[in-house]
Structures are given as C-alpha cells and as structure tokens.
Structure 1
C-alpha cells in the first residue's frame, strides 16, 4: 500500500458482494490496470455478503478511468459499488489516538449510546468493530465492541477516562480505554 503524493487525488470505493476473494481481486486489479494505487483496504464478512472499502490514489485522469469502468464491472461480477472522491485527512499532530474496548450483554442501544458519549466529548471516531455472539454458559447474546478514537488536543486524559468509565458503569458495560498501540511494533 502506498501513500498518495501531492498531485494525486483520492477515491473511496465501497462494494458489497457474495464472494470476498473475487470482489477484492477484481477491484484491486482494476485499480492497478488504471494506474492507481490502493492506499488502504478493509474487508469484512456479514453473513453471505462481504463489504470491501478501498481508498485509491491516482492522478485525476487515472481515477476517472477507474470510475468509468466500475459500474459495468460491478454488473458483470454481481456486486454493488459506490464511489466518492475524497481528500487526505488533515494532519492532527496534537490529537491522541485511544482505543475503547466494550463487552456487555447485548442491547440494541449500546452502540448509539457510546457514539453519543464520544460526540458529547468532541472525540473523533477512526474505526469501529462490533460483534455479537452467544455466551457458552448462559446462551445470552453478548456484544464486543472496539472503538478506535482520536482525543482532541488539550483534553485532560485522566478526566475523560474517569468520565468514560463512570458512563460505562451506569450502562452496566465492561469497558476499558487505553492509548492506541500499533499491532506490529517495529
């Protein structure tokens, strides 16, 4: 994966289809054939459907070439596609990356309650993963959620951590918030 240069522009492609390998192969090959680069990619499976999000960089004409071919390609391979032009995320050198881990008995309002907490505290969401499963001992439905967030500059971390833990206790959530760490430290 490459980092876009100043002259390059960005395109975000989201696609849904039944075959994750074909979906990824077809879209990455199309980007390469159009002289574009895949900057980031995320693929998740949701039942029989797979969701792929690609951030593609390239010159304006290379991205236009890729955009033009996406609809016919989606029809041919049986997936849906959505495309949006994007700009690079601005540098935020004073912002602090954190991860919040949540585990609880499933309730349909937990994720929106957590989002509202972070909105109320001007915390930006970078990544969210939520999964449900059946607890082996009780058979009850459980939720595991991981929020990767960016704390605004100047926030008092100990205060925010206390606020978050009090909030989680009030909702009967098992929660932890800690600094983000790379998965594969060098």
Structure 2
C-alpha cells in the first residue's frame, strides 16, 4: 500500500461467538478491501477487534456503507474512520519491553508515564494476568513495543528504565525488536 493511500480503521466489539471473525472478514473481502493490520481478542466473553483495511476509494466507500448492516447482522458495535499512515517526525528504532510483577493496580499507567515523560511512543501494548507457578500468586505481565528516537542514547535509556523497574519491583527486559 502506498503511504498516500487512505485506509479505514475499524473498531468492533460484541459477544464472543464462533464464526464472528469469519463473518466479519468475509464482508471485508466481499467489499474488495484488504486487511493490512489487525488485533483481535476474546476478553471475558466479549470479542474486541482493531483493524486497518485498505482498498480503492470505491471499495472503502462500499465497506463504509455496509457497516451498519454488518454491525446488526453480527451483533457488533462498530466505529470506523478514514486514515492515512502516520509519518514519524524523525526515525524511530522499535524496542520490545517485557515486564512481569505481582499483580497490582497502576502498573500500566506507571510504565506509560515513564515513557511519556521521555517522549517515547508506545506503539503496541498487551497485558495478561496469570497464577505464578507453584505458589499461585497473582502475576501480571506486560509486553509492549516502543518507538525510540534514533538519536536517543540507548544505553542511558536502558539503564534509566531498568533502575525505574528496580524501584517499582518490576522484573523487566528492554531489547531491540528482532525481525
């Protein structure tokens, strides 16, 4: 897809049920659009989707016009918005951040605050809770991808981040994304 091409960002949620992804993606394909990026998950009996689709102007318009009926047929709440790919002001290096800790409120906000203060964008973030092996203690894990400005001093940033995590009693890694 060309960087100047418009695309459609879609968010949808509803009751999780078998065939929901097939039904939704079939309607996108029938409209002549292509799924460029997507995140889908079942969370607590609910289905959530975030997706960016591309296509010709008329294909996107056809899909937009069909959205109300798709929402009704599949039992989804859907929002949509036209967009263009973002162009960063300066080159960014993708880094992966992994954090594990005893589950407690505020971990995600605290991590987000750390990166926001340094003007580092969180590009993707996933969390989960799970019982610790052997003890069953409630654990919390965060996986995120951040965009580090290419002119940042990585060793200092990594050291500051790991010091911050030590202060917060978080076990963490901070590594470049490996393709």
CA contact (8 A) 1:97 1:149 kept: yes
Aligned to 1:63: 60
Instruction: Check if 1:144 corresponds to 2:141.
Output: yes
Taking structure 1 as the reference length, what is the TM-score of the superposition?
Answer: 0.89
Aligned to 2:103: 106
Shift in Å at residue 130 of structure 1?
0.4
Task: Provide Cα deviations, 1:144-179, integer angstroms capped at 9, x if missing partner.
Answer: 111111101210000000000010001000011011
- Spell out the pairing of 1:44-55 with structure 2 (5 A cutoff): 44-55=41-52
Aligned to 1:130: 127
CA contact (8 A) 1:24 1:52 kept: no
- Say which of 143, 156, 159 aligns to 1:162: 159
Task: Provide Cα deviations, 1:45-67, integer angstroms capped at 9, x if missing partner.
Answer: 10211212221001222211101
State the aligned residue count: 179
- Say which of 33, 37, 53 aligns to 2:34: 37
Going from structure 1 to structure 2, the CA distance change for 1:54 and 1:124 (only over 3 Å counts) comes to: same
Aligned to 1:26: 23
CA distance in 1, matches of 2:96, 2:128: 16
Shift in Å at residue 8 of structure 1?
3.4
Going from structure 1 to structure 2, the CA distance change for 1:31 and 1:18 (only over 3 Å counts) comes to: same
Aligned to 1:75: 72
CA distance in 2, matches of 1:106, 1:150: 26
Structure 1 segments unaligned to the other structure (5+ residues): none
- Say which of 89, 93, 97 aligns to 1:96: 93
Structural RMSD (CA): 1.7
Structure 2 segments unaligned to the other structure (5+ residues): none
CA distance in 2, matches of 1:7, 1:172: 45
CA distance in 1, matches of 2:52, 2:86: 12
Taking structure 2 as the reference length, what is the TM-score of the superposition?
Answer: 0.92
- Spell out the pairing of 1:8-23 with structure 2 (5 A cutoff): 8-19=5-16, 21-23=18-20
